[in-house]
A and B are shown apart, each in its own frame.
Chain A
């Protein structure tokens, strides 16, 4: 798992951590059933307060992406849906390449579908 944060950014650090983890769950870099690093450990490594990491983890739990269990840490559960989305996106990307549609247009299409 890879997390890159910028403490000077306008986006709060807990949100940056959550986004990094969400992206990796969606792309399959973090597999379903995988255990996220202990909050204290990740906080020490990033040089942030443990509550910042816990807030990120609680956000992921509220979104149903991880399960928080006392003593066992954070377990990723958001796999199956992400798998289906990844397949669909892969299909869309293949179609776009075949039709010669540039990636910018594809992203715009995805955004339009998502927000409609």
Chain B
């Protein structure tokens, strides 16, 4: 059921072919079909099915659309794939995602809409068909693509301190999102707000929906910009600086604690608050803000929590000191 396991070089080559060259081929193929059909068909095609009625435009609108979506998507996912350290774990999803998006937009929003350019079949049939084929292409890619063996857990267990009975050791630290990231997100939200206000004032009184995105962005940023991490005889607590959200592992549930070498993309598929199936096959939460060492706390049932903090070794030692044997 699982994909073939091969060495790193083979897996990486296969992944780059599936992420870059095959999707590029699909985009080119779609362009050929659109040009062949479009140039020989009616001079104007329906290019927009909206609440305000149909809009017509030249056939090459679709050719431009395919290139405008396809090239940036392939370039972006291809870059991420080329930079990733191993073709396993969450990275193995990258080629599947590239394939799914490419098949969906070239067929659903490109070729399909050109071949089937009349109501009521379009746009529903091309879009639904494209989406279905996209999902199938993505799953097939995920299933067929050979990959590397998952990296063994790189967590280095900690030893704990020689604490005499009655002594209490506590470690606290902070996890902060990088300042450039916060400014970028805040900038995007600010631009949306300005555009929204301009729209409300000038064009449409129904533009209020544009404020939903910046409101969500700002709420998320404010609640997750800074976390306080505490390791104590009571266990591990990860709490947003505002008090919520809050995660904790009571000391009675701590099986072990150590320092994990975190690769955000390979281990968690990205940055931020993440949940994945870990190398041990159990759920793994991650609060990931950077590459490098982080604290990993494993529960007795195998589930674990990873948080990228500086001085993770000391935090792990505190938890090891007070972690109880399950027996």
Contacts and interface: CB of A to CB of B under 8 A. Distances in A.
B169 interface: yes
Interface residues of A, number: 18
Given A37-B230, A47-B233, A4 B172 contact: no
Contact of A37 (B166, B172, B311, B318): B172
B136 to A, nearest CB: 51
B188 interface: no
Contact of A3 (B161, B166, B169, B237): B169
A41 B173 CA distance: 12
A45 B232 contact: yes
B79 interface: no
A48 to B, nearest CB: 8
Contacts of A3: 169-171
A45 B166 contact: no
A91 to B, nearest CB: 26
B309 to A, nearest CB: 11
A72 B16 CA distance: 49
B168 A5 contact: yes
A105 B167 CA distance: 31
A7 B169 CA distance: 11
B220 interface: no
Given A41-B230, A46-B168, 17 more contacts: A2-B169, A2-B311, A3-B170, A4-B161, A4-B167, A4-B168, A5-B168, A7-B166, A7-B168, A35-B174, A37-B228, A37-B230, A41-B228, A42-B170, A45-B170, A45-B232, A47-B234
Kindly list the 7 A-B residue pairs having the minimum CB-CB distance in the complex, ordered from nearest: A45-B232, A45-B170, A37-B172, A4-B169, A6-B167, A2-B171, A3-B170
